Amino acid sequence: MKKHKTRLIKIGNNIVIGGKEIQIMAGPCTVETYEYTKKSAHACRIAGAKILRGGAFKLRTMPGTFKGLGEKGLKILRKVANEEKMAVISEVIDAKDIDLVSKYADVLQVGERNMQNTLLLEALGKAKKPVLLKRGKSAQISELLYAAEYIARNGNQNIILCERGIRTFENDTRATLALASVPLLKEMCDYPVIVDPSHATGKPSLVPPMAKAAIAAGADGLLIEVHPEPKKALCDGFQALIPVEFLKLMKELKLIAKAVGKKI
Amino acid sequence: MKKHKTRLIKIGNNIVIGGKEIQIMAGPCTVETYEYTKKSAHACRIAGAKILRGGAFKLRTMPGTFKGLGEKGLKILRKVANEEKMAVISEVIDAKDIDLVSKYADVLQVGERNMQNTLLLEALGKAKKPVLLKRGKSAQISELLYAAEYIARNGNQNIILCERGIRTFENDTRATLALASVPLLKEMCDYPVIVDPSHATGKPSLVPPMAKAAIAAGADGLLIEVHPEPKKALCDGFQALIPVEFLKLMKELKLIAKAVGKKI
Amino acid sequence: MKKHKTRLIKIGNNIVIGGKEIQIMAGPCTVETYEYTKKSAHACRIAGAKILRGGAFKLRTMPGTFKGLGEKGLKILRKVANEEKMAVISEVIDAKDIDLVSKYADVLQVGERNMQNTLLLEALGKAKKPVLLKRGKSAQISELLYAAEYIARNGNQNIILCERGIRTFENDTRATLALASVPLLKEMCDYPVIVDPSHATGKPSLVPPMAKAAIAAGADGLLIEVHPEPKKALCDGFQALIPVEFLKLMKELKLIAKAVGKKI
Amino acid sequence: MKKHKTRLIKIGNNIVIGGKEIQIMAGPCTVETYEYTKKSAHACRIAGAKILRGGAFKLRTMPGTFKGLGEKGLKILRKVANEEKMAVISEVIDAKDIDLVSKYADVLQVGERNMQNTLLLEALGKAKKPVLLKRGKSAQISELLYAAEYIARNGNQNIILCERGIRTFENDTRATLALASVPLLKEMCDYPVIVDPSHATGKPSLVPPMAKAAIAAGADGLLIEVHPEPKKALCDGFQALIPVEFLKLMKELKLIAKAVGKKI
C-alpha cells in the first residue's frame, strides 16, 4: 500500500514534526516542583530533546491520588521551558481548560481515557495549538482516526497521533505496545505518528528497546518520561528513566534515526 | 534489570544464532514445488539469508486446505538448501515425525498451535537438532518459558524462542506483534529470540517496518515469508514478500543491525 | 467468599433496585420523536418494565452521526414516562449538563466511554439522583470500583453498576458479555449490578438468552433496547428488540426470576 | 436468526445430550485414587449427575506437575462409574491413546490446548465414541466450528461443543466465560453445547452463578469439578466445589432448567 506523505506540524517557533527530524518529547509524568522539572528538563535538553512534557491536569484511576498542580504547574513548565529554550506539551482534560493550557503549552495532549470524549475533541478543533491525540487502550485504528476527524472537522488539522499500548491479556507489561499501528497509520492518514514507550511498557528497562523499535518502524517522534528521582515521583515514577539512562538512549536513537534516513 | 548473556546456538555447520550476527530465516510458507522453492531460496540467499524456511507438515485452521507435501517436501527443501548452501528450518507437528524431519532439517520448528503440546515438547527434548519454539497466540511470557522448560528438562537446551504476534481485539492486522516480549525475554532467560513479522502482521507492507523494529528491539533473527508468486501460493501467500521487496528489506536491515552493534 | 447484602437504591417515588424485585430499564437507544418513544414506552410498560431508557445526549464514535436531541429529547422522555407512569433513566456526558438532566431523569447514566472521566464522576457525586455507572469496555473490575468510589467519596452513594461487555478478540458479537462480573461484584461491593445485553451482544437474537443468563447469575436488573421500527432508528437500531420480542422475553424472564427467588 | 434443532447424542446406554434433559458431567479434575474418585462420584450421582468426569492424561502448563495416572486412572474411573451407574468422560491428548481411552470412557474429551491439533481431531473422526470438543482459549467461534468439521469429515458426527472461557485482559477470573457463544453456536450449528464454569472462573464461589447462567442461556449441559477435599487435589483443586456445595447447586439448577422448559 502506498504511504501518505506525512503532514508537517509546526510546534512553537522552530520545531517541525513529521519531517526528517525526529522529535523527542521528554520530561516528568507530572509537574511537581520547579526543581524537579528544571533538573529533568535540563537533562532532556542536553541529551537532545526539544519538547518538554509534563502534566498539570491529570485523570487518575484511583481517587485520592495526585491530580496535578493545575495552572501553577503550567507556569513552572513554561518558565523552565523558556529557560531551556524548549517547547511545551501538556494535557487537557476538559474543554473549559483549553484556553488556559493554550496560554502555556505549544501542544495540547489528549490522554487515552479521553480519546472518545467527543465534546473535548470538538472543542480542540477550535483551538489554535496542535493536538497530540493518544490512542485509547481499547481503540481500533479506525476509532482513533474517527476521533482525529472530530478535531479536524472543527477546523484544526494540526494533529499528531500517538500509539501508547493497548490492553490485552499480557500482564508482564503495563500495556501491549502495538507498534504495527505506526506503519499502518502511515498508510491510512497523513498525520505524524509518535510512540510513548513509557506508558506502554511501564518498565524503564523496556523503554530503550521499544523507543529504538518505534523509530525503526517509522515513528516521527517519542514521548518519554524522565525524572531525576523516580522513586520520589508523585505519579508513575516506576516507569521513568533517570537522566543518565535517557542520555544513553538518545545516543542510541541517533544511530537508529540515521539508519532509517532521519535525524534527531 | 540485567540482561542474560544470550546462549549461542549452532545451526548446521557454520551458522550461529544468538551472537553478533543476526540470522534471517526466509523462504516460502510451505514447500510446493522444486521450482518455486528454488526461486525463493535463491533470491533469499542472494539477499543475505542463510537459513531456508519452508513447511512440509502443516496444521491448518480449515479442513480440506493444503497440509504440505510431507517427506517429499523435505527432500525438495534439502536439495535446494544444499544447492544454495543454506541451512534448513521446517516444522514438526507430531512427535513421531521428529526423526524424519531431523534427517532433512537443521532446526525443528514448533508452531504456535503446538506451544503447549507437551508430548511433542518432551519428545523434542530428546532430539538432536535445535528447536525453534513459537509463542502461542494467547500465551503469557511465563507460559512460553514453561514450554521451553519442557524441552530443556529432557536434554535439549538448544532452543530459539519466536515472537509471532498475539491475539487481541485488533483486526487490522492478523495478530498484534507484541515486540516488548523480545527485551523482556532477554531479561528472563538466555535463549536467542527471533521475530516472525509475516505471521504477526499478515500484510506484506507491514513486514519491512516490523522487521526493522524487531532488530532495533534486540531480536537475534527473523523469520520471513518470501514467495516468487505470492498469489499462486497454496498457503498464506497474502503475507509473503516478493524477492525484490525482500532484497530491499535486507539492505535496510543491515543498516539497522549496524546501528545496534550487530551485523547481517 | 461471602456476598455483601445489596444496597437498596430508590428510583423515583416507588421503585427500588437491589431487592427482591428485578428492575427492567427498557426503551429506545436514543429519543428521536414523541411517537416512537411513546410506542416503545407503552410496549415496555405493558410488558412489565418500570423504567424508561432513552438517550438525549450521546457520544458517538463517528463524527457527523446523530448526537441526540438534548433538552428536547429529555422533555419527550419525561412526558411519555409520566403518561405511562414510568421512571426515566438518561445519559449525562458532561458535568455541566447534570442539573439539566436531573430535572427530567430519575437515574443519571454514565456511558462506558466516560467510566474514567473523573471530572464527570466527581460532579455526579454531588448530584441528587442515583447514578448508573457502566463498566468501560477495557476496564478491570477494580477500575470500575475505583470509578464508583469517585462518585461515592463526593457524597452520592446511590450507585448502580452495569456490565455491558468488554472488548476482546471475539468479533461475532459487538462485545464479550463478561457475566462473571455480576457475582464477582456482589462479593466485592454492595452496589446493585445490572446488565445491558443489547450493547454487549449487538444482536437481537442474542439479547433474550443473555438477559435470562444475567438474571440467573444474580443481576438486579437489565437495560434493554426496544424500538418499534429498529430499521428506522437513528442509532444502534440493529440491536433493538421489537415490542413483541420484548413481551415474549419478559414472560420468560419472570420464570427465571422466580427460579432464583426473585420477581419482576 | 433461526436456531438449528439440536442433534441428539447418545452417551453410554441410556443418556442423551441435546434434548429436554440437561446433562451434568461432574467429578474430580484428575483421577488420583479410588477413594477420592468414589467419594466424588457418589456425591455427584446422589445430587443428580449422570456422567462422571476425571482426567487420566493431562497436558500441564508447568513441567514437573502431575500428568495423570494413565490407564490406571481410567480403570479407577470405569470401576467407580460402574458402581455408581454413571457414564464416563475422560480426556484424550494423543491420537495413539484413542483406542485405550475408548475402552474405558463413553465420551472422549479434547482439551482447549488441543482444539487445533488437527492430527488428533482427524483420528477422533474415526473413533466410535462421541467427542466433547472444548473451545480454545483464543479461538473464534468459526475456528471452533472448523475444528469440529475436522472430526465430522472423518466420519464422527457425535460432537458436543464446550465453552470454557476465553483469554482476555480480565485477571480476577481464570478466564472470561463468553456465554453468548452458547446461543450463537445454536444458530450456527446443530451440535449440543455445554459449559465448563469451573475452568472458566477458577473460583468455586463463581461456579454456581455461572452454571445457572449457562442453563438460562440455553446450554445442554455442564462440566463441573467436584472434589471431596479440594485442598489436597493434585490438579486445579482451587476451583472445585465440595460435595455439599454441588448438591445445593444441583437443586438450584433444577429450578432454572424448569424455567427454560427443560429438566435435570
Query: Could you tell me if B218 and B182 are in contact, meaning their C-beta atoms sit under 8 angstroms apart?
Result: yes
Grid coordinates belonging to B48: 543475505
Average pLDDT, whole number, for chain C?
A: 96
Residues B28, B200, A111: CA angle, nearest 5 degrees: 160
Which of B107, B41, B99, B37 lies closest to B68 in space, CA to CA? B37
Contact B173 A184 (CB under 8 A): yes
Rounded distance, CA C103 to CA C120, Å?
17
Contact D119 B59 (CB under 8 A): yes
CB pairs under 8 A between B and C: 6
Give residue B203's pLDDT band: very low, low, confident or very high (50, 70, 90).
Answer: very high
Looking up cell 443519571 gives: C108
Position D55 pLDDT exceeds 60: yes
- Would you state the pLDDT for residue D2? 60
- Environment class of C82 (CB within 10 Å of its CB; exposed 0-12, middle 13-18, buried 19+): exposed
Average pLDDT, whole number, for chain B?
A: 96
Rounded distance, CA C88 to CA C110, Å?
14
CB atoms within 10 A of CB C86: 25
DSSP label at residue D190: -
Rounded distance, CA A114 to CA A132, Å?
12
Which of D127, D110, D204, D118 lies closest to D162 in space, CA to CA? D110
Give residue D186's pLDDT band: very low, low, confident or very high (50, 70, 90).
Answer: very high
Grid coordinates belonging to D264: 435435570
Q: Where are the alpha helices (DSSP H) in chain A?
A: 34-47, 71-84, 98-104, 118-124, 141-152, 181-188, 197-201, 207-216, 243-259
B169 touching C (Cβ < 8 Å): yes
Residues C133, C202, D7: CA angle, nearest 5 degrees: 125
- Would you state the pLDDT for residue D52? 98
Grid coordinates belonging to B25: 530465516
Position B10 pLDDT exceeds 90: yes
Amino acid (one-letter) located at D14: N
DSSP lists the bridge partners of residue A23 as A221
Contact A59 C117 (CB under 8 A): yes
- Would you state the pLDDT for residue A236? 84
C171 touching B (Cβ < 8 Å): yes
Helix or strand (DSSP H, E) at B47: helix B34-47
Query: Could you tell me if B88 and B104 are in contact, meaning their C-beta atoms sit under 8 angstroms apart?
Result: yes
- Would you state the pLDDT for residue B2? 60
Mean pLDDT of all residues in D231-243: 89
Contact B59 D93 (CB under 8 A): no
Counting residues of chain B whose pLDDT is more than 70, the rounded percentage is 99
DSSP label at residue D178: B
Residue B168: its chain C contacts at CB < 8 A? Answer: 169
Which of D253, D255, D264, D179 lies closest to C255 in space, CA to CA? D255
Contact A59 C149 (CB under 8 A): no
Contact C138 D169 (CB under 8 A): yes
Helix, strand and coil content of chain C, in percent to the nearest 5, comes to 40, 20, 40
Rounded distance, CA D135 to CA B205, Å?
33
CB atoms within 10 A of CB A55: 27
Rounded distance, CA C109 to CA C162, Å?
10
Nearest CA in chain B to C175: B169
Mean pLDDT of all residues in B84-99: 97
CB atoms within 10 A of CB C228: 18
C-alpha distances in Å from residue A85, one per residue of A13, A45, A223, C158:
10, 8, 18, 51
Give residue C237's pLDDT band: very low, low, confident or very high (50, 70, 90).
Answer: confident
Rounded distance, CA D154 to CA D143, Å?
17
- Would you state the pLDDT for residue A1? 54
Counting residues of chain D whose pLDDT is more than 70, the rounded percentage is 99
DSSP lists the bridge partners of residue A11 as A15
Looking up cell 476538559 gives: A94
- Environment class of D28 (CB within 10 Å of its CB; exposed 0-12, middle 13-18, buried 19+): buried
Instruction: Provide the Cα torsion D140, D142, D148, D153; round to 10°.
Output: -150
Mean pLDDT of all residues in D230-238: 86
Give residue C1's pLDDT band: very low, low, confident or very high (50, 70, 90).
Answer: low
pTM: 0.96
DSSP lists the bridge partners of residue C109 as C91, C132
Rounded distance, CA A196 to CA A202, Å?
10
pLDDT tens figures, B216-240: 999 999 999 999 999 888 888 899 9
DSSP annotation string for C40-82: HHHHHHHHT--EEE-BSS---SSTTS----THHHHHHHHHHHH
Residue C141: its chain D contacts at CB < 8 A? Answer: 170, 172
Give residue A233's pLDDT band: very low, low, confident or very high (50, 70, 90).
Answer: confident
Position D64 pLDDT exceeds 90: no
CA C126 to chain centre: 21
D145 touching B (Cβ < 8 Å): no
A210 touching B (Cβ < 8 Å): yes
DSSP label at residue B20: S
The CB-side HSE value for D125 (13 A sphere, CA atoms) comes to 16
A171 touching D (Cβ < 8 Å): yes
- Would you state the pLDDT for residue B234? 84
Best probe of the D interface among C176, C185, C220, C238, by most D CBs < 10 A, is C176
Mapped onto helix, strand or coil, the DSSP state of residue B113 is helix
Closest by Cβ to A146, choosing from C61, C93, C146: C61
CB pairs under 8 A between A and D: 6
Contact C167 B169 (CB under 8 A): yes
Contact D179 C213 (CB under 8 A): yes
- Would you state the pLDDT for residue A125? 98
Position D262 pLDDT exceeds 70: yes
| CA-based nearest distance A11→chain D, Å | 37
Mean pLDDT of all residues in D79-106: 98
A106 contact partners, CB below 8 Å, separation of at least 6: A11, A12, A15, A51, A87, A88, A89, A129, A130
Helix, strand and coil content of chain B, in percent to the nearest 5, comes to 40, 20, 40
Rounded distance, CA B118 to CA B140, Å?
16
B157 contact partners, CB below 8 Å, separation of at least 6: B7
Position C3 pLDDT exceeds 90: no
Rounded distance, CA A132 to CA A159, Å?
6
Rounded distance, CA C230 to CA B25, Å?
54
Counting residues of chain A whose pLDDT is more than 70, the rounded percentage is 99
Mapped onto helix, strand or coil, the DSSP state of residue B23 is strand
Amino acid (one-letter) located at C93: I
Mean pLDDT of all residues in D84-96: 97
pLDDT tens figures, A163-197: 999 999 999 999 999 999 999 999 999 999 999 99
- Would you state the pLDDT for residue A240? 94
- Radius of gyration for chain D, computed over Cα atoms and rounded to the nearest angstrom: 17
CB atoms within 10 A of CB C36: 22
Domains delineated in chain D: 9-259 (3.20.20.70)
A131-134/A159-163 β-pairing: parallel
Position C46 pLDDT exceeds 80: yes
Lowest mean pLDDT among A189-198, B60-69, D238-247: B60-69
DSSP lists the bridge partners of residue D263 as D21
Helix, strand and coil content of chain A, in percent to the nearest 5, comes to 40, 20, 40
C-alpha distances in Å from residue C27, one per residue of C38, C87, C161:
9, 11, 19
Grid coordinates belonging to C142: 477494580
ipTM score: 0.96
Give residue C2's pLDDT band: very low, low, confident or very high (50, 70, 90).
Answer: low
D172 touching A (Cβ < 8 Å): no
Instruction: Provide the Cα torsion D13, D18, D24, D29; round to 10°.
Output: 90
Give residue B4's pLDDT band: very low, low, confident or very high (50, 70, 90).
Answer: confident
Query: Could you tell me if A235 and A241 are in contact, meaning their C-beta atoms sit under 8 angstroms apart?
Result: no
* Chains in contact with B via at least 3 Cβ–Cβ pairs below 8 Å: A, C, D
pLDDT tens figures, A18-70: 999 999 999 999 999 999 999 999 999 999 999 999 999 998 989 988 889 99
Grid coordinates belonging to A16: 517541525
Instruction: Provide the Cα torsion D131, D132, D135, D137; round to 10°.
Output: -110
Mapped onto helix, strand or coil, the DSSP state of residue B90 is strand
Rounded distance, CA A30 to CA A91, Å?
10
Residue B169: its chain C contacts at CB < 8 A? Answer: 167-169
CA B19 to chain centre: 17
Rounded distance, CA B57 to CA D44, Å?
44
Nearest CA in chain A to B137: A169
- φ, ψ (nearest 5 deg) of residue A192: -60, 150
DSSP label at residue D112: G
Position D154 pLDDT exceeds 80: yes
pLDDT tens figures, A93-111: 999 999 999 999 999 999 9
| CA-based nearest distance B151→chain D, Å | 9
Position C188 pLDDT exceeds 60: yes
